Every structure is written in structure tokens, then in C-alpha cells.
């Protein structure tokens, strides 16, 4: 079914097919056209898989749902001890994420550890999102993304433009923030430019700036596809304490790590976005 839907999207409806191919060709100029075509096909399978998994994720509600999510091994957190080390050394932690893996599953992070327990709980965790123009779609996505923690003390699904005030209220408290920070910038005052996938890339630095201001530990949250299905999450430290660091340096390091992932799994990214306008 996924293969058929991917074919429809790619070959019949041609949903942003040209955008995907342009992004791939500019990001991987060393690859031959046949290789790019194969990545193009694999991307659409991955894209459809993300959507199907997102719909299923909405069913993991309540205690029973959390148990099913954990037992599914859909995502495995490979090094909770590294996150715990960062959290022990700083009052707050900033996890910088991307549109690799399946970012729609991120709020299930508490239930993905199968060894050492992750020192994090829903009442002290926040993720950013960008409000959708459709009120119905925005409510639907919020309900789906927060399904595993919907009956818990979770107040951390925070619209991007409200995050500064949210974080100010919690300054000095034990807390973890997760920013998906590879979108095309929508706030000119927070931009910087980095080198990413052979191209000069404008990027937001709001999460990095917040981490520097509040002296957080900063890490890149690696989200790779697992052979046979599912994903692995891995914390890759960027700095144990961010005070005194340049936010632009943090973002450059973030993009270097993301580029490592895309070179390892070139289909594993949201190539439909017009990231280089």
C-alpha cells in the first residue's frame, strides 16, 4: 500500500516532484542522474510512511497507548545515558531537531528508552511548532502529536512565537526544550547563514540564542531510519554549557551533523520544502 501511494504522489499527482529533484541535484552534485532518481523514489516512500505513522501515532493515547507505543519499538533511543549526563550538568537542555526521521513522533520521546531510563518527564519538556493556516488542521495535528501525553501534565506544545515568554517563566527550572530548526527562516531578526549541503543556507538561530542566554546544554537529536522499519534517536552533544558561545557557531555545528545524516541516508529528509529560495 505504501509503495502504491508513494507512486501516486510521485508519478501521478507529481506532488512537488520538481522541487524534490532540484533540491537533491543541488545537494548531491556528485551523484549521477540515475542515483538521484533512485533517491527521489525512496524519498516518496519515506514521505508516505511518515504520514501513515503520524496517523497511527494518534492512537497511542492514555496509559494503554503509552504501553503499546513502548512495546512497538517504533523508535529506539540509543543513548539515554548521554542525555542524562547533559541534564545533570546543566539546569536546562536544548535539543535541536530537523526534518529527518519522523519528527511527528517526537513527543513520544519519553517512551523510547529500553535500557537506562531517560531523566525527562512530560511536565518539564516543551516542543515548538508553527501554527497552520487552517484551524481544523492545526487542531488535528496538535491532537495527533500530543497523543501519548494527552492525559498527563503536558503544557509544552508551544507555538514558536510564544516560546520566548514560555521559557522566561521557566528560567532556572529543570527543563528540556526541543526545537525543529531547519525551516526556511520566518523571522528576519533571528537569522544567520551557514554552509549546508553545498549551499549558503539562511537559518533561524532562535533556539541557539535561547540556549546561550540561559546557559543550556545543547545537543543535536539524530533521527535515522532503521533497516527493516522504524527509527533510532541519538543525542549528539554540541556543547555541555552554551554561555559565551556564538549562536551562529552552534547552528553551523548543527548543520554539519545534519549533513552527515543526509549523506548516510539521502532519502531521509523533507525534500519537498523550498529550503533554498
Residue 156 CA to residue 264 CA, distance in Å, equals: 32
For residue 153, what pLDDT is reported? 85
> Which string of DSSP letters, residue by residue, matches 126-159?
EEEE---SSHHHHHHHHHHHTGGGTTSS---EEE
pTM reported for the whole predicted model: 0.95
Residue 69 CA to residue 61 CA, distance in Å, equals: 9
Q: Is pLDDT above 60 for 189?
A: no
Q: How confident is the model at residue 63 (pLDDT cuts 50, 70, 90)?
A: very high
Which H or E run includes 31?
Answer: none
Residue 188 CA to residue 216 CA, distance in Å, equals: 24
Q: What is the pLDDT of residues 119-148, one digit of tens each?
A: 999 999 999 999 999 999 999 999 999 999
Q: What is the pLDDT of residues 151-162, one digit of tens each?
A: 998 999 999 989
For residue 26, what pLDDT is reported? 96
Nearest to residue 259, comparing CAs of 197, 185, 203, 183? Answer: 197
For residue 193, what pLDDT is reported? 87
106-124: string of b/e by CB count within 10 Å (b at 16+)? bbbbbbbbeeeebbbebeb
Distance of CA 189 to the CA centre of its chain: 22
User: Does residue 116 contact residue 81 with C-beta atoms inside 8 Å?
Assistant: yes
Q: Is pLDDT above 90 for 275?
A: no
Q: How confident is the model at residue 102 (pLDDT cuts 50, 70, 90)?
A: very high
Mean pLDDT of the chain: 95
Q: How confident is the model at residue 243 (pLDDT cuts 50, 70, 90)?
A: very high
- CA distances to 19, 23, 46, 59, 217 from 270, in Å: 11, 10, 9, 24, 27
Q: Is pLDDT above 80 for 242?
A: yes
Q: What is the pLDDT of residues 197-221, one digit of tens each?
A: 999 999 988 899 999 999 999 999 9
Averaged pLDDT, 29-57: 97
Residue 95 CA to residue 83 CA, distance in Å, equals: 10
Q: Is pLDDT above 60 for 52?
A: yes
Amino acid at each position: 500500500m505504501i509503495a502504491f501511494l508513494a507512486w501516486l504522489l510521485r508519478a501521478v499527482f507529481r506532488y512537488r516532484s520538481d522541487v524534490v529533484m532540484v533540491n537533491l541535484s543541488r545537494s548531491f552534485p556528485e551523484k549521477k542522474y540515475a542515483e538521484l532518481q533512485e533517491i527521489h523514489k525512496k524519498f516518496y516512500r519515506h514521505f508516505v510512511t511518515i504520514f501513515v505513522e503520524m496517523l497511527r501515532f494518534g492512537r497511542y493515547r492514555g496509559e494503554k497507548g503509552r504501553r503499546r507505543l513502548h512495546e512497538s519499538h517504533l523508535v529506539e533511543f540509543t543513548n539515554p545515558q548521554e542525555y542524562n549526563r547533559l541534564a545533570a550538568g546543566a539546569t536546562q537542555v536544548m535539543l535541536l531537531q530537523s526534518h529527518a526521521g519522523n519528527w511527528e513522533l517526537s513527543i513520544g520521546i519519553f517512551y523510547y528508552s529500553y535500557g537506562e531510563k531517560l531523566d525527562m518527564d512530560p511536565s518539564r519538556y516543551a516542543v515548538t511548532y508553527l501554527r497552520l493556516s487552517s484551524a481544523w488542521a492545526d487542531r488535528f495535528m496538535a491532537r495527533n502529536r500530543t497523543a501519548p501525553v494527552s492525559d498527563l501534565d503536558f503544557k509544552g506544545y508551544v507555538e514558536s512565537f510564544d516560546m520566548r515568554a514560555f521559557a522566561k517563566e521557566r528560567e532556572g527550572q529543570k527543563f528540556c526544550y526541543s526545537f525543529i530548526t531547519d525551516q526556511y527562516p520566518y523571522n528576519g531578526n533571528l537569522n544567520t547563514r551557514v554552509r549546508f549541503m553545498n549551499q549558503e543556507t539562511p537559518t533561524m538561530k532562535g533556539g541557539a540564542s535561547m540556549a546561550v542566554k540561559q546557559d543550556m546544554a545543547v545537543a543535536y537529536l539524530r533521527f535515522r531510519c532503521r533497516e527493516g522499519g522504524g527509527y533510532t534517536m541519538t543525542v549528539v552533544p554540541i556543547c555541555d554549557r552554551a554561555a559565551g558561545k556564538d549562536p551562529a557557531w552552534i547552528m553551523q555545528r548543527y548543520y554539519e551533523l545534519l549533513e552527515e545524516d543526509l549523506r548516510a541516508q539521502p532519502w531521509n529528509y523533507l525534500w519537498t520544502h523550498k529550503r533554498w529560495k
